[in-house]
Amino acid sequence: MLKKLFTLFKIARKLALSDASKIIIKKFEVPFLIKILLNLFSISFSKNNLESSKLKDEEKLCSSIQEMGTTFIKLGQFLSTRPDIIGEDLSSQLEKLQDRLPPFSTNEAKKIVKKNLGNEIFDSIINFGEPIAAASIAQVHKAQINDDGTIKDVAIKILRPNIKKTFNEEIDALMLVAYLIENLISKTKRLKLIEVVFLLKEITNHEMDLRFEAAAANEFKENTKNDAGFHVPKIYWNFTSEEVLTLDWIEGISIREKEILESKKIDIKNISTDIIQHFLRHAVRDGFFHADMHQGNLFIDENGQITPIDFGIMGRMDKLNRRYLAEILFGFVQRDYKKVAEVHIIAGLVPNNVNVDELAQALRSIGEPIFGQSVKDISGGKLLKQLFDVTEKFNMQTQPQLLLLQKTMVVVEGVARKLNPDTNIWETSKPVLEKWLKETKDPINNLAETLKDSTEVLKKIPELPKIMDKANQALTFMASGKIPQESNSFSALNEKKLEMKSFRNQSIIGLLLLVFLGVIVF
């Protein structure tokens, strides 16, 4: 208990020191008790760093979050995808959060590598350089490795010391705050704040195991190996562990260096087109795409190929959503709104009782204004956002993977247009979407897919009695309003809720004592 209370104490202190507590109180309907606690901390600790600033509250809060470190940067980035919770203005500001922190020492980095890889592997690393980039979770060093007698230039990504421990302590404390808010303000229950924080915890813990990022990069490389003009760096598995990731060093020019690219006679118009087409190809063809394709993560290598880095955030789409995405985008290109409406209904994305003509009319209200705009103002990502807003009125349940794709599409389009402001998003997208839709409708391809699915079903036949028994157990649990113990995520979340419930009353008293102690001491 004392440990959790102390973590809450440190979080409140960070909020006060950065002046974020005052902004939170002003911006949101903070429960009375929490308001008192935050005000007490502000009196004790606030430096008023931002009071003289002319920045908006949203900009001040964003700046404060940046100062508070890893957990808050990750929370801010995650909340930027949830304007339904925090509002459009704050969401836009949080998108600008820079995932950068001062580096830790090279000696510390070497110790982590040696501990994770062992003496023999560590001894085959040469010219281990100073950090060249430092983010909230990890930092990157340039080095060379002896790979079966061949010297290779590599980038070594290393987790920050004790980052997992610090993050999990702070995120558990924030989950308790979310629990208190939900219980004190009934109207916040619909926002599912506990689930939001819990999901962030799961996502970030995956990101803090660099073996997952290595696996993602490896899968991405396999998917794109035949894509001309696109290159994913090689992973060196012998030099990779939970806290260390080693991959090819990229000699290239950052996409953001437009003038340098032009001086090297690189056709930036083609590059801008290729970026969009590659992204769409990965999304609809593979169902697996790079979900953090900003300028800092894209390079043009010495062979003129687009080379992405940082595979910590990847997006997945199932067959249904890939089909949905391709059909609606192509439908908008053709201005066939009824077709797009029918796709929604056939795919089960809206209820069957929705009037197809009314839905088509609503979709037309999105599409037609777009075609009246100049090429520079047309955005596929913004179209998808408008689409989700409109179809929500027809009881469409928007899937998180589609939201992630929409966010990424906006970023990709922005990168392309910085290279070439006249990039025509629709003309660029059309051949990729048209080709994929044609291939998926091809009878030979459909037959092959059906046979593949049938084979998988046949493999499961011997297990059918077990599957039926488990299904019966699951239905029994559901009928009684319980969650099966086998459901790990749900079980973990429920355990957290029970833990927080028992901790609630004790924590309030303890927090008050800690606050007054803090006021006296500091």
Q: Provide the annotated active-site residues.
A: 292
Torsion angle (degrees, nearest 10) of CA 300, 305, 311, 314? 120
| Structure tokens, 125 | 């690393």
| Structure tokens, 514 | 């800690």
> Which H or E run contains 339?
helix 337-346
Q: Assign 3-class secondary structure to 217-251.
A: HHHHHHHHCCCCCECCCCECHHHCCCCEEEEECCC
Residues 352, 388 contacting (CB under 8 angstroms): no
| Structure tokens, 441 | 């409708």
Residues 6 or more apart whose CB falls under 8 angstroms from that of 258 comprise 268, 418, 419
The Cα 190–Cα 200 span in angstroms is 18
- DSSP class of 190: G
Report residue 373: phi and psi, to 5°: -95, 165
Quick one: 179 exposed, middle or buried, by C-beta within 10 A (0-12, 13-18, 19+)? buried
List, as one string, the DSSP characters of 450-504. HHHHHHHHHHHGGGHHHHHHHHHHHHHHHHTT---TT-HHHHHHHHHHHHHHHHH
Residues 321, 401 contacting (CB under 8 angstroms): yes
Strands (E) in 27-149, as ranges, are 125-126, 131-134, 138-147
What contacts 24+ positions apart, CB below 8 Å, involve 305-310? 305/229, 305/230, 305/231, 306/229, 306/230, 306/231, 306/271, 306/274, 306/275, 306/278, 307/230, 307/231, 307/232, 307/233, 307/250, 307/252, 308/220, 308/232, 309/155, 309/233, 309/250
DSSP 3-state of 411 = helix
CA–CA distances in Å: residue 171 to residues 177, 275, 371, 395: 10, 36, 45, 33
The Cα 86–Cα 28 span in angstroms is 9
CA–CA distances in Å: residue 390 to residues 358, 366, 367, 397, 409: 12, 8, 12, 11, 19
| Structure tokens, 40 | 């007490």
